């Protein structure tokens, strides 16, 4: 079974802090994704990566950056946390086979509160 793990289930940070969210997958997937989930807005893509050291902006990249130094690990960084970044953050991975028909596997999520 594919396993996607996230470093924290709950996190409380102060405004202006630098925040790191870590995600690890164990199935050698090429693609990895970071989403935020907010009530009424569904899932919105922040960034994704299709290979080591490669990244692509999603729909809402402002205020975030990412790092992928190893294939299994994808980090989301909030350079200076703000209260409007309080949200549930979901990491996902998928196999890339030249087409995009493969489903994504999600981690349990990190609920981040910025005060």
Partner 1 sequence: AQSVAQPEDQVNVAEGNPLTVKCTYSVSGNPYLFWYVQYPNRGLQFLLKYITGDNLVKGSYGFEAEFNKSQTSFHLKKPSALVSDSALYFCAVNHGGYQKVTFGTGTKLQVIP
Closest CA to 4 of 23, 31, 28, 32: 23
CB 81, CB 13: distance < 8 Å: yes
Name the residue nearer to partner 1 (CB basis): 17 or 58: 58
Name the residue nearer to partner 1 (CB basis): 20 or 96: 96
Where do the H-state alpha helices sit in 15-111?
Answer: none
Name the residue nearer to partner 1 (CB basis): 46 or 80: 46
- Closest contact distance (angstroms) between CB of 16 and partner 1 is 29
Question: Which stretches of the chain bind partner 1, using CB under 8 A?
Answer: 4, 31, 35, 40-45, 48, 50, 56, 58, 90, 92, 96, 98-101, 103-109
**Structure tokens that stand for 72 in this block:** 């299994």
- Closest contact distance (angstroms) between CB of 80 and partner 1 is 26
Half-sphere exposure of 6 (CA within 13 A, CB side): 25
């Amino acid at each position: 079974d594919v396993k996607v793990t996230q470093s924290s289930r709950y996190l409380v940070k102060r405004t202006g802090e630098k925040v790191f969210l870590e995600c690890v997958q164990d199935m050698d997937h090429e693609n990895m994704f970071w989403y935020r989930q907010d009530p009424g807005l569904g899932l919105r893509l922040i960034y994704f990566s299709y290979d080591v050291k490669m990244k692509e902006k999603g729909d809402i990249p402002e205020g975030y950056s990412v790092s992928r130094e190893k294939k299994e690990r994808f980090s989301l960084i909030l350079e200076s946390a703000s209260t409007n970044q309080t949200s549930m953050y979901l990491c996902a991975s998928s196999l890339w086979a030249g087409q995009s028909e493969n489903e994504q596997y999600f981690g349990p999520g990190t609920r981040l509160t910025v005060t």
